[in-house]
Amino acid sequence: MNIALFFKGIAVGFLVSTPVGPIAVLCIQRTLNQGKIHGMVSGLGAATADVIYSLIAVFGLTFITNFLIKEQIWLRLGGGIFLCYMGLRVFRSKPVQQAVSGNNISYIGNYVSAFFLTLANPATFLAFAAIFAGLRLVSAVGHYVSAGLLITGVFIGSGLWWFTLSGVTGIFLEKLGYSKLASLNKISGIIIAGFGLFILLSLEIWKA
């Protein structure tokens, strides 16, 4: 049993999660409008998708890997459309109403949407595959226990980032007050939809 793999997994999970992208913006927006728990639950959805991609990278599931690479255009197309939809929803959302009725908002919905948005981005898998190969972590995994330590570390590292992001955002929530959240919603919605449009416009199908 190589306990070092556990700590390396934490570092990799944290590293892969830190780039600011649509999931980070969505997590921040949900924390501001719905509370820290909703932001953390969204982050756990993204962390779960990271676990799945790291599992594929570690065990070299050829069929799934080939599928992700071959069908990445359609995955990105679906992800881009969904991001545009989410951006529109965020843009039109009313933070004051959300804050009052926050308990009625589905934790499962927040978890699932963040999970599928992360899963719809094959670049996440490629990032794990590249880092695991560069650090020679795949060859260091000699049995299922070692693999379990590595994957568990990835989940904890990814979750640690999302919990930190939600916690820090929650501190700003107390200082901002809900009166300023409407404009932040519009900015967040534009950014999220902007990511979606960028993904859609970058697809190879438009160049054919």
* pLDDT value of position 99: 43
* pLDDT value of position 28: 87
- CA 6 – CA 82 distance, rounded (Å): 34
Q: Which two tokens stand for residue 140?
A: 């260091």
Provide the whole-model pTM.
0.75
- CA 158 – CA 103 distance, rounded (Å): 26
Q: Positive or negative, the Cα torsion across 108, 86, 207, 202? A: negative
* pLDDT value of position 111: 93
Query: 81, 196 in Cβ contact below 8 A?
Result: yes
Q: Which of 206, 200, 204 is nearest to 83 (CA)?
A: 200
35: alpha, beta or left? (left if phi > 0; alpha if psi -120 to 50):
left
Give me the tens of pLDDT residue by residue for the chain, a chain 208 residues long: 578 888 988 998 898 888 767 888 888 888 888 888 889 999 999 999 999 988 888 877 666 666 666 777 777 788 788 778 878 877 877 664 444 444 445 889 899 999 988 888 877 877 887 777 776 776 656 567 788 888 899 999 999 999 998 888 887 766 665 556 667 777 877 887 887 888 788 776 665 5
Burial 164-173 (b: 16+ CB within 10 A, else e): ebbeebbeeb
Terminal Cα-to-Cα distance of the chain (whole angstroms): 50
Q: Which two tokens stand for residue 69?
A: 């690479």
Angle subtended at Cα 109 by Cα 188 and Cα 31, rounded to the nearest 5 degrees: 40
* pLDDT value of position 142: 59
- CA 102 – CA 29 distance, rounded (Å): 13
